[in-house]
Amino acid sequence: MENIDNHSESLFNGHIETALRAIIILEAFYPDSLDLESISLLDYFSVHTGDINGPPSLHPAVSSRVGEYRVRRRTIQDSLSILIRRNLATVIEDKDGIRFIAADDAPAFIKLLTTQYNSTLKDRANWLASQERHRADLFLELRTYIATHTINIQFDEGFQIA
């Protein structure tokens, strides 16, 4: 078993917080499975729902927040590994590639997450799942938002696109 005392990782947006968001997202989208890109998008938008005319965002609207999406892929991968090792998520390999789905133990675990933050996060994840079930273009809209705002940040910061 890992000795967590030797880790100096920040809890904010670290592997554990990201794993908690990921399992809440996977459970909200159950029985659908999600690929890594979709989980990454949903991880960002579950805390920034206000960016897409949803409920108020959980995290503050700092100007460089879209950059979070670009740098978090590895953390999300590691967090999914934690969930798989703890039997909270399952890997599915099919014609669409590698996908993830909430495992049988996920609902009972999520019921234990009773803080106001986690309750609100569950609401936001369920809102996103509801949007996806009623709109075939949700993931396209999310990707477009990230791409557009990444370009805007680059121009705002004085970078140019080649």
Domain ranges of the chain: 10-156
What value does the mean pLDDT take over residues 13-25?
92
Neighbours of 6 (CB within 10 A): 6
Instruction: Give the C-alpha separation, 82 to 49, whole Å.
Output: 25
Structure tokens at 119: 């309750």
CA 98 to chain centre: 16
Model confidence over 144-158: pLDDT tens digits? 988 887 755 444 444
Structure tokens at 16: 């554990």
Instruction: Give the C-alpha separation, 107 to 99, whole Å.
Output: 19
Q: What is the pLDDT of residue 63?
A: 59
| Nearest Cα residue to 89 out of 22, 1, 43 | 22
How far lies 3's CA from each of 7, 8, 70, 138, in Å? 8, 11, 29, 40
Model confidence over 63-113: pLDDT tens digits? 556 566 667 788 999 999 999 999 999 999 989 899 999 999 999 999 999
Q: In the predicted model, is pLDDT for residue 127 greater than 60?
A: yes
Q: Worst-scoring range by mean pLDDT, 10-14, 42-46, 112-116?
A: 10-14
Going by the DSSP 8-state scheme, the letter that residue 34 receives in this structure is B
* pTM of the full structure: 0.83
Q: What is the pLDDT of residue 11?
A: 54
Q: What is the pLDDT of residue 59?
A: 79
Rounded percentage of the chain residues whose pLDDT exceeds 70: 78
| Nearest Cα residue to 118 out of 53, 40, 27 | 27
